[in-house]
Amino acid sequence: MNITDRFLKYVSFHTTSDENTNMIPSTPGQMIFAQYLVNELKSIGLQEVELDKNGYIMASLPANTDKSVPVIGFIAHMDTSPEMSGKHIKPRIIKNYDGNDILLNEEEVIVLETATYPEIQQYTGQDIIVTDGTTLLGADDKAGIAEIVTAMEHLIAHPEIKHGKIRIAFTPDEEIGQGADHFDVKKFAAEWAYTMDGSQIGELEYENFNAASAKVSFRGLNVHPGYAKHKMVNSIRIAHQFASMLPRHETPEHTEGYEGFYHLIASEGSVEKSTLNYIIRDHDRDRFERRKKEMQHLVNKINAEFGAGTAEIEIRDQYYNMLEKVEPVLHIVHLAEEAMKEIGITPHIKPIRGGTDGARLSFEGLPCPNIFAGGHNFHGRFEYLPIPSMEKATELIVKIAQKLEEQS
């Protein structure tokens, strides 16, 4: 199976994760996809293929060299973002993209506009996979899985390419910050790994956000509106007041690079009770801690104005900046960078404005820089994937394994 057909098969599985189910994995579709992958990995000849009860897949490609080569790993995640539907994805291949706007959905007049997404024009002349405008695509991170599987298949078919032992893993629930919760680093038994979870071709990342989630709850009191004076407490209005107290321009749509933010991702409310769900992000650990304290400070101000217990906040740390753990072993980044250059890719080293499973795994003893998977506009209807980028990512995995053996 070629990599395009493999990817198109993978996105047919509905694997949207859901932080509210209290299940592991959080949704049944992830386990269904995992079982499919286990059968595929066995069929192409990988060994030590295992799927545990939590939905984590691990497998091995044995070394084919007598050299003592460090065991390395490649990791990708199976779930797609809950920010938009990943069910009934209808991908379409735009052949020889002409550089113009793409009509994704004629009936609903959904257009991927180059004025909004000008970076797509760098792929003029290439074949690009797009959505029908009603779902996300799932390149985050099914492109990464397709690349790893295809690279392993290629190495098995070409024993003349020498390499050490390679471990691969596919994880559930990365998109809801739980992808590393049950990852057994000791069992994985690699010295380091690479997550194939970046975006455009050439991306190589070993810095990411420090991340937390925050749920702010507001308690109100409902009274007939005709007799509500000095009695009603409208939790919706209080929630709006809280949201307006956060810095207006410290949001995703106003920040870039190393700039952090507060991001309101969901809200729900009635007069009696309202909730706001935020994510908090910053590359700098001190600023990250200050952001969490600021959220608590604003809750305290609400309670001072409206009464104790009006507002409550639950903050949960999700992951930290992997730079702290990767910096002492930067040779693993240099290996990937050199491999890129050897296959004609210009490395684009930058901080991740997000996170990967590798961020948490780095703090658990498995340093994990992040490599591009090739997609763009993750988590939304305008997600797309240039096929040559996916093919290059596959070639890069092979080259990293080959270079490491040569240097050992």
CB atoms within 10 A of CB 182: 16
**At a CB cut-off of 8 Å and minimum separation 6, what does 375 contact?**
137, 139, 140, 143, 199, 383, 384, 385, 389
Q: Is 61 helix (H, G, I), strand (E, B) or coil?
A: strand
What separation in angstroms does the CA of 324 have from each of 149, 272, 364, 367, 368? 30, 44, 12, 10, 12
Q: Catalytic residue among 40, 79, 357, 405, which?
A: 79
**At a CB cut-off of 8 Å and minimum separation 6, what does 330 contact?**
206
Tell me if 396 sits within 8 A of 336, measured CB to CB. Answer: yes
**At a CB cut-off of 8 Å and minimum separation 6, what does 243 contact?**
264, 276
What DSSP state is assigned to residue 120?
Answer: G
Does the active-site annotation cover 282? no
Backbone angles phi, psi at 134, to 5 degrees: -110, -10
Structure tokens at 237: 């209005």
Q: Catalytic residue among 147, 173, 174, 207, which?
A: 174
- Residue type at 365 in one-letter notation: G
Give me the active site residues, please.
79, 174
